[in-house]
């Protein structure tokens, strides 16, 4: 079975075509600058198992529909493509950012599902419209094939009410659905399922998964179910990120708006695009640069590095308390998978919780980077600490496969 995984983001379209029988990606690509300033400068990077090197194509893509048309043309292309007819694509899996409280797991998409997703547009105004257009375009351009929605929020739907309710007036939850939802659910689910296997399916396993990338979130998982997560109504809450501030005193937001004369849209941009690493370190939002400057003794990089790692450590302590114990910590995402020094600093002084990192294993080698999983804790560490490379696309392909083939998730 060939499954196409589509991730229609705010200004990009990422895709992968999986051959599920061979368990391999046969083609993948990314369209960038879709719809940006009319989409005139958009381009596609494409790689398939028919070609040695990635190719780049410049083409106007005013909306995600043109991006999807180009993607399908490439997949079918005589020279670089991997299929002859679109009918060879058996199903399409879509990454959908928000499933509100309604969608608690991945679903087969029909008109009713689309209508429901359209109702949630306001909860993620930058992402839901392209997500939905991606679905509609695939339905139109690859007719008669099943489409499956995989929601970033779904895995977190098991959180208890006292964890997801904000202490705002209760009407805000009832009328406006203002509550904590959590994101990166597909990644947290994927790495936690691997971890549960690594713990030999220990019942009531207590796991903390740290997805640390440009966007970062951390989740507490008991017996395979989320009990708390750091992102909230939107992906802004929680940890300090590449360009996002994470949690701050809400009154500080109001104060800055007043003093800097910013309206809500401007403040939204301020907190999402100008804060976090870029706000403190100022040079850029790339953790690698922060790490290098930190090692060179740069003051601002040191502050940034310490802020990031301290906050994650705090969440681990807090979630260990929420879980009532801890069996494993998992690091994933660009930073979590690659930065040994970040992992070391985060776990420093957590010995009282039973966390002991093995500094001979927690190193940055090519083998450690690509291998999954890597156990980076010492043999006698009470809490096992893993680095596991995430694969959200594969998780989406697997959900799609199971729903299409067996009518339900595994």
Maximal CA-CA distance, the chain: 61
Residue with tokens 């929605």: 149
Q: Whose Cβ is closer to ligand ADP: residue 9's or residue 39's?
A: 9
Give me the residues paired with residue 147 across strands: 92
Distance, in Å, from the CA atom of 82 to the CA atom of 3, rounded to the nearest integer, reads 13
Rounded to a whole number of angstroms, the minimum distance from the CB of residue 212 to ligand ADP is: 7
Rounded to a whole number of angstroms, the minimum distance from the CB of residue 251 to ligand ADP is: 29
Burial of 352 (0-12, 13-18, 19+ CB in 10 A): exposed
Q: Which two tokens stand for residue 245?
A: 């501030």
Q: Whose Cβ is closer to ligand ADP: residue 6's or residue 404's?
A: 6
Rounded to a whole number of angstroms, the minimum distance from the CB of residue 194 to ligand ADP is: 17
Rounded to a whole number of angstroms, the minimum distance from the CB of residue 304 to ligand ADP is: 11
Distance, in Å, from the CA atom of 391 to the CA atom of 368, rounded to the nearest integer, reads 16
Count of CB atoms situated within 10 Å of the CB of 351: 13
Q: Which two tokens stand for residue 355?
A: 């966390």
DSSP 383: B
- From 2, 152, 228, 327, active-site residue: 152
Q: Whose Cβ is closer to ligand ADP: residue 81's or residue 334's?
A: 334
Q: Whose CA is closest to 373, among 363, 381, 365, 385?
A: 385
Stretch (H or E) spanning 291 = helix 287-295
DSSP 212: E
Rounded to a whole number of angstroms, the minimum distance from the CB of residue 290 to ligand ADP is: 8
Q: Which residue is nearest to ligand ADP (CB)?
A: 334
Q: Whose CA is closest to 277, among 217, 214, 347?
A: 214
Concerning whether 152 is annotated as a catalytic residue, the answer is yes
CA 238 from chain centre, in angstroms, equals 14
Distance, in Å, from the CA atom of 379 to the CA atom of 383, rounded to the nearest integer, reads 10
Distance, in Å, from the CA atom of 216 to the CA atom of 336, rounded to the nearest integer, reads 10
Is 212 in contact with 335 (CB distance < 8 Å)? yes
Q: Whose Cβ is closer to ligand ADP: residue 60's or residue 341's?
A: 341
Q: What is the CA radius of gyration of the chain?
A: 21
Q: Whose Cβ is closer to ligand ADP: residue 77's or residue 286's?
A: 286
Distance, in Å, from the CA atom of 130 to the CA atom of 128, rounded to the nearest integer, reads 6
Q: Which residues lie closer than 8 Å to 235 by C-beta, 6 or more apart?
A: 183, 184, 215, 217, 244
Rounded to a whole number of angstroms, the minimum distance from the CB of residue 334 to ligand ADP is: 2
Residues that bind ligand ADP (CB under 6 A): 213-215, 242, 286-288, 291, 333-335, 338-339
Q: Whose Cβ is closer to ligand ADP: residue 164's or residue 183's?
A: 183
Cα atoms in the Cβ-side hemisphere of radius 13 Å centred on 398:
13
Rounded to a whole number of angstroms, the minimum distance from the CB of residue 323 to ligand ADP is: 25
Rounded to a whole number of angstroms, the minimum distance from the CB of residue 74 to ligand ADP is: 23
Q: Whose Cβ is closer to ligand ADP: residue 239's or residue 335's?
A: 335
Residue with tokens 């005013």: 62
* Residues taking part in catalysis: 152
């Amino acid at each position: 079975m060939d499954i196409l995984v589509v991730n229609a983001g705010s200004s990009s379209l990422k895709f992968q075509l999986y051959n599920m029988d061979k368990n391999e990606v046969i083609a993948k690509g990314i369209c960038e600058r879709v719809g940006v300033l009319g989409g005139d400068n958009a381009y596609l990077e494409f790689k398939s198992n028919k070609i040695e090197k990635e190719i780049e194509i410049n083409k106007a893509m005013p909306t995600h529909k043109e991006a999807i048309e180009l993607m399908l043309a490439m997949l079918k292309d005589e020279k670089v493509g991997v299929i002859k007819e679109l009918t060879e694509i058996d199903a399409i899996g879509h990454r959908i950012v928000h499933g509100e409280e309604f969608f608690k797991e991945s679903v087969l998409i029909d008109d009713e599902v689309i209508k429901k997703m359209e109702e949630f547009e306001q909860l993620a105004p930058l992402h839901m419209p392209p997500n939905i257009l991606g679905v509609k375009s695939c339905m139109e351009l690859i007719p008669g094939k099943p489409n499956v929605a995989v929601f970033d929020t779904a895995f977190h739907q098991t959180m208890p009410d006292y964890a997801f309710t904000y202490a705002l007036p209760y009407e805000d939850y009832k009328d406006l659905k203002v509550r904590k939802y959590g994101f990166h659910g597909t990644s947290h689910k994927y790495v936690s399922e691997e971890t549960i296997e690594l713990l030999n399916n220990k019942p009531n396993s207590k796991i903390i998964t740290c997805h640390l990338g440009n966007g970062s979130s951390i989740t507490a998982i008991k017996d395979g179910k989320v009990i708390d997560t750091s992102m909230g109504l939107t992906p802004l809450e929680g940890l300090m990120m590449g360009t996002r501030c994470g949690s701050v005193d809400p009154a500080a937001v109001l104060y800055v708006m007043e003093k800097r004369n910013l309206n809500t849209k401007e403040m939204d941009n301020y907190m999402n695009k100008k804060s976090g690493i870029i706000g403190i370190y100022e040079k850029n939002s790339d953790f690698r640069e922060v790490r290098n400057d930190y090692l060179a003794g740069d003051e601002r990089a040191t502050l940034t590095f310490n802020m990031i790692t301290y906050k994650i450590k705090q969440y681990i302590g807090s979630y260990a308390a929420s879980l009532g114990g801890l069996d494993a910590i998992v690091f994933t995402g660009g930073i979590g998978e690659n930065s040994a020094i970040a992992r070391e600093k985060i776990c420093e002084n957590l010995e009282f919780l039973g966390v002991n990192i093995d500094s001979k294993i927690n190193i940055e080698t090519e083998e450690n980077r690509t291998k999954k999983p890597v156990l980076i804790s010492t043999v006698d560490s009470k809490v096992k600490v893993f680095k596991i490379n995430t694969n959200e696309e594969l998780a989406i392909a697997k959900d799609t496969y199971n729903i299409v083939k067996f009518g339900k998730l595994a």
